[in-house]
Structure 1
Amino acid sequence: MAEVKVYLDAAEEKMQMAVEFLDDALAHIRAGKANPRILDAVRVEYYGSIVPISNVATITTPDARTITILPWEKSMFKEIEKAIINSEVGIMPENNGEIIRLGMPPLTEERRKALVKQAKQEAENAKVSIRNARRDAIESLKKAIKEGLPEDVEKDGEASVQKLHDKFVKKVDDMFAAKEKEILTV
């Protein structure tokens, strides 16, 4: 039975990684609400190193439509502004000399549908990864039969892998439903 647990643990780890990747991907889909995570991928140069904005400034969301960035050093204003303009964030920063503001523009209906489609694609990719993890685990269990694993133990292992698969697919569906609701809420 310890052999089966090894395959189950490996499959669960791969499935968990797929869910975490999906969570990260969905966080970067702009839903019209201010979310500091859309700036995660934006990097600035700081004393010769390339670092995330969060390492050189405080990022807050004072309301649902605004992200504010307060650099810890005055010299970072231009650097942060340039990085945001050159990034894929798609929002023009407003700099008043004390704070940088990003105003989240309201989304058009067409843009909302495109974002839902993008989120659905990300969810589908996660499901494919989960299915692949299930397939790999089942193949490993079938190979283990040839190495002396009893068939009934292998069948129980397959059932456990299927339960894991179902649990993670439900998690992906729930995450997508929540993101879809967030995107479509005006």
Structure 2
Amino acid sequence: MSEELSLTIDLAEDSMKKAIVHLEGELAKIRAGKANPQMLDGIMVDYYGSPTPINQVGNISVLDARTLTIQPWEKNMLQPIERAIIASNIGINPQNDGVIIRLFLPPLTEERRKELVKRCQGEGEHAKIAIRNIRRDAIESIKKLQKNGLSEDVAKDAEAEVQEMTNKYIALVDKHLASKEKDIMAV
């Protein structure tokens, strides 16, 4: 019976780690004033009829703190990349010079910074909800194991362990949010 219990706890912890990794990925997409190639993750380019991630059709590099460049591997991909960036609605207009595409990031206004912080907090809240749902599912599994013969003391200890793990991962979400908020609000 303890094997099923440890499997339930390990599964819950693994799922919570995945929630944190997802949060880190989402926060990386939110720009904090500095050019970052990860901002373009998730943008799909029409590559001969099939949607392809932008980083697979060209080389993305950081020119300076406010400029990204995209060097397509095929010259005829300039237009589709430009269209994909405009359609992605990331708030940046691409500059196409016929060889490379430049993305100039405008300096963030105070109002825009506050919007980005709110967006980060929304992502953080999604992560916290996911972690709490994982906790709920784990505790339900423990209760089922208890009905199937697991002792009450062991079940209570396992529930306490799951709660402790939940607290740890929610604190980690708060830490990531505080770091990103500090990054965004720095002028």
Q: Do the two structures share a fold, i.e. TM-score over 0.5?
A: yes
- Please name the residue that 2:48 is paired with: 47
Query: How many pairs does the alignment contain?
Result: 186
- The CA deviation at 1:48 is 2.6
Q: Segments of 4+ in structure 1 off by > 6 A?
A: none
- The CA deviation at 1:147 is 0.7
- The CA deviation at 1:33 is 1.3
What SS class does the counterpart of residue 105 from structure 1 fall into? coil
Q: Structure 2 CA distance, aligned partners of 1:56 and 1:86? A: 17
Q: Structure 1 CA distance, aligned partners of 2:89 and 2:10? A: 37
Q: Structure 2 CA distance, aligned partners of 1:134 and 1:11? A: 7
Q: Structure 2 CA distance, aligned partners of 1:89 and 1:47? A: 23
- Please name the residue that 1:141 is paired with: 142
- Please name the residue that 1:132 is paired with: 133
Q: Structure 2 CA distance, aligned partners of 1:122 and 1:23? A: 10
Paired residue type of 1:87:
S
- Please name the residue that 2:173 is paired with: 172
Q: Structure 2 CA distance, aligned partners of 1:130 and 1:46? A: 37
Paired residue type of 2:56:
N
Paired residue type of 2:145:
A
- Please name the residue that 1:108 is paired with: 109
What SS class does the counterpart of residue 137 from structure 1 fall into? helix
Paired residue type of 2:133:
N
Q: Structure 2 CA distance, aligned partners of 1:77 and 1:140? A: 52
Quick check: 1:81 aligned with 2:117? no
- Please name the residue that 1:17 is paired with: 18
CA deviations 1:141-170 (Å, max 9, x no partner) are 122111100111112211211221122112
Q: For structure 1, which runs of at least 5 residues remain unmatched after alignment?
A: none
Quick check: 1:63 aligned with 2:64? yes
- The CA deviation at 1:13 is 2.3
- The CA deviation at 1:53 is 1.2
What SS class does the counterpart of residue 75 from structure 1 fall into? helix
Q: For structure 2, which runs of at least 5 residues remain unmatched after alignment?
A: none
Q: Structure 2 CA distance, aligned partners of 1:36 and 1:57? A: 12
- The CA deviation at 1:181 is 1.1
Paired residue type of 1:71:
P
Q: Structure 2 CA distance, aligned partners of 1:116 and 1:49? A: 34
What SS class does the counterpart of residue 34 from structure 1 fall into? coil
Task: Report the TM-score, using the length of structure 1 for normalisation.
Answer: 0.94
- The CA deviation at 1:30 is 2.1
- Please name the residue that 2:162 is paired with: 161
Deviates more, 1:50-59 or 1:76-85: 76-85
- The CA deviation at 1:176 is 0.6
Q: Structure 2 CA distance, aligned partners of 1:141 and 1:48? A: 49
- The CA deviation at 1:104 is 0.6
